[in-house]
Amino acid sequence: MPDPVIYKKWAEQLGIPKEVYERVDSVLDRVIEKYKKEISLFSDGTKTMPLEEIEQLANLMLSDVIGEFMKELGELKKDALTTILTAVNLYQFLTAVEERIAEIEPVEVEEHLEELMTSCIDLPPIPLFHHPIARTVRESMMFQINLRFREIVNDIAESIRK
């Protein structure tokens, strides 16, 4: 889970409404828990999952994420899918950056900026993030993130040092 203050800051910068970004953690936890077994098969390097099954699992996970948000928020607005997927992708991306920064010395963060960016762009081994719609939203979000990556890294590094 990324630092909540940093997640909130960047969610707001990307125009994600409070009622969405405040629920991402709990919604993702429930959906990932529900598909824990299937995710382990997908992410285990020794087993392979047919592409058809991956696509089916990604569709199910996306449907469940939307369903969970609908349960909590009621009727969703017209552009809710993009907003929700931006919030989910941002959450995952900031978690990845935070994990990578924690692995290196704080004074070395600036030296490893390019490496951090490259390693954190990779999609996580969870089918939801490989869904074509989720990937498209992520690419759009990453364009905005790339422009401010140094600032994001500095925010996270500073919060880790505290």
Mean pLDDT of 137-145: 89
19-75 tens-digit pLDDT: 999 999 999 999 999 999 888 877 766 556 778 888 899 999 999 999 999 998 887
Name the band, by pLDDT with cuts 50, 70 and 90, for residue 13.
Answer: very high
User: CA-CA distance, 18 to 40, in Å (whole number)?
Assistant: 31
- Burial pattern 103-120, b for ≥16 Cβ within 10 A else e, equals eeeeeebeebeeebbeeb
> How high is the pLDDT of residue 79?
81
User: CA-CA distance, 54 to 36, in Å (whole number)?
Assistant: 14
In this structure, the number of other CB atoms found within 10 A of the CB of residue 49 comes to: 15
User: CA-CA distance, 123 to 106, in Å (whole number)?
Assistant: 25
Q: SS3 of 11, please? A: helix
> How high is the pLDDT of residue 89?
93
> How high is the pLDDT of residue 64?
94
| The token pair that represents 115 in the structure block | 């490496």
> How high is the pLDDT of residue 107?
66
> How high is the pLDDT of residue 46?
56
| One-letter identity of residue 111 | E
* Contact yes or no for 49/41 (Cβ under 8 A): yes
pLDDT at 77 over 90: no
Domain ranges of the chain: 4-161
> How high is the pLDDT of residue 19?
93
81-126 tens-digit pLDDT: 899 999 999 999 999 888 888 887 766 777 777 787 777 777 788 8
Max mean pLDDT range (29-33, 147-151, 155-159) = 29-33
